């Protein structure tokens, strides 16, 4: 090969290598747009059961932050629904952004007449459903920022010593609107025997009052069958949690320790394994509501045309 041909051959191979490296860089720069899942969870229960503290600890642990044991400023209770808290997390493994909106209910149960305590909550749930319907059927196209307006689930905190009439009233009425996940609060105030008896009593109360709580499918899930349940809990029974570590003369309780509390199990079920099933459960309810609204609209239009 002559020197001139050798130079041309080297130049051609160098150009090919440059093109190959550029293509590799282009492929590396290509990224799929992450999938966005909106999850709106309501938190309800009587004051003083640790709802705010549990939410703070739950989402700190979910986001990978060290849960703070410091006491946070307690806001003045109001009869209104509070939707100010929003949390977002990106899961690189699944290329998914989970946007969580916490719907708090401060002031629930503060009135003497508990029969009207549920009304603002059910009114808000229905308003969100109406807004979702208007957004889908309106002229303005929904953007990704709008997200899902539906309330997908409710975590309801039950007192650790008594199942009150207001608890029964709430569960019987709100179960018609969305999925309910009952949890027993402050279970460090109960012995293992007392907690087992209380769970059995709640199970009987739910059956007697036709209260349908969300089923995590623990009896059929192979993953959950391998888990150890805290403090004698049977599959399908309400979770029992503590919101912070406790220090007592006879020992300590740790809220993230599975042998002491179902806190870690609640986090995994609510914010990982059953997030999308809960969203799908709410979407199925909404689909039935939407079909009724559409049929009603057709009937109204037909009546006007007569």
CB 202 within 8 A of CB 237: yes
Give me the pLDDT at residue 232, please: 75
pLDDT higher at 77 or 282: 282
Q: Average of pLDDT values for 269-285?
A: 92
pLDDT band at 12 (very low <50, low <70, confident <90, very high): low
Task: Categorize the per-residue pLDDT at 56 as very low, low, confident or very high, splitting at 50, 70 and 90.
Answer: confident
The confidence band for 172, taking pLDDT boundaries of 50, 70 and 90, is: very high
What is the rounded distance in angstroms from the CA atom of residue 23 to the CA atom of residue 15?
A: 12
Residue 71 has pLDDT above 50, yes or no: no
Name 142's Cβ contacts closer than 8 Å, sequence gap at least 6: 135, 136
Maximal CA-CA distance, the chain: 102
Measured CA angle at 215 (ends 209, 220), to 5 deg: 130
Residues 161 and 158: their CA atoms lie apart, in Å, by: 9
Residue that wins the pLDDT comparison between 53 and 1: 53
E strands, the chain, are: 35-45, 82-91, 96-104, 153-158, 179-184, 239-240, 246-248, 251-253
Lowest mean pLDDT among 53-57, 169-173, 280-284: 53-57
Mean pLDDT of the chain: 79
Q: What is the pLDDT of residues 179-236, one digit of tens each?
A: 999 999 999 888 889 999 999 999 999 999 999 999 887 655 555 555 556 677 777 7
% residues pLDDT > 70 (the chain): 72
Using the Cα atoms of residue 183, residue 186, residue 191 and residue 192 in order, give the sign of their dihedral. Answer: positive
**pLDDT(67) > 60:** no
Which of 21-30, 43-52, 164-173 has the lowest average pLDDT? 21-30
- What pTM was computed for the model? 0.80
- pLDDT reading at 151 higher than 90: yes
Give the pLDDT confidence score for residue 58 in this predicted structure: 81
- Report whether pLDDT(140) > 90: no
Q: How far apart are CA 136 and CA 192, in angstroms?
A: 49
What is the pLDDT at residue 77?
43
pLDDT attached to residue 76: 44
Q: What is the pLDDT of residues 153-166, one digit of tens each?
A: 999 999 998 999 99
């Amino acid at each position: 090969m002559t020197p001139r041909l050798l130079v041309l051959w080297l130049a051609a191979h160098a150009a090919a290598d440059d093109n190959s490296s550029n293509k590799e860089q282009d492929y590396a720069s290509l990224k799929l747009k992450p999938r966005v899942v909106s999850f709106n969870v309501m938190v309800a229960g009587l004051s003083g059961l640790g709802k705010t503290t549990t939410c703070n600890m739950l989402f700190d642990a979910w986001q990978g932050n060290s849960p703070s044991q410091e006491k946070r400023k307690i806001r003045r209770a109001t009869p209104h629904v509070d939707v100010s808290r929003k949390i977002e997390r990106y899961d690189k493994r699944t290329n998914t952004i989970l946007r969580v909106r916490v719907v708090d209910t401060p002031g629930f149960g503060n009135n003497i007449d508990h029969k009207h305590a549920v009304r603002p909550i059910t009114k808000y749930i229905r308003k969100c459903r109406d807004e979702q319907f208007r957004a889908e059927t309106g002229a303005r196209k929904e953007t990704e920022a709008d997200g899902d307006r539906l309330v997908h689930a409710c975590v309801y905190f039950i007192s650790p010593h008594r199942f009150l009439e207001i608890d029964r009233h709430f569960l019987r009425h709100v179960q018609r609107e969305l999925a309910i996940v009952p949890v027993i609060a402050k279970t460090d105030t109960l012995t293992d025997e007392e907690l087992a008896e209380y769970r059995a009593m709640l199970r009987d109360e739910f059956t007697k009052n036709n209260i349908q709580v969300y089923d995590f499918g623990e009896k059929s899930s192979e993953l959950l069958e391998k888990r150890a349940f805290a403090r004698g809990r049977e599959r399908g029974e309400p979770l029992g949690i503590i919101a912070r570590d406790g220090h007592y003369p006879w020992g300590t309780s740790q809220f993230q320790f599975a042998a002491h509390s179902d806190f870690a199990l609640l986090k995994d079920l609510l914010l990982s394994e059953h997030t999308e099933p809960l969203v799908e459960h709410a979407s199925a309810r909404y689909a039935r509501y939407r079909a009724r609204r559409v049929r009603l609209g057709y009937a109204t239009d037909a009546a006007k045309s007569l």
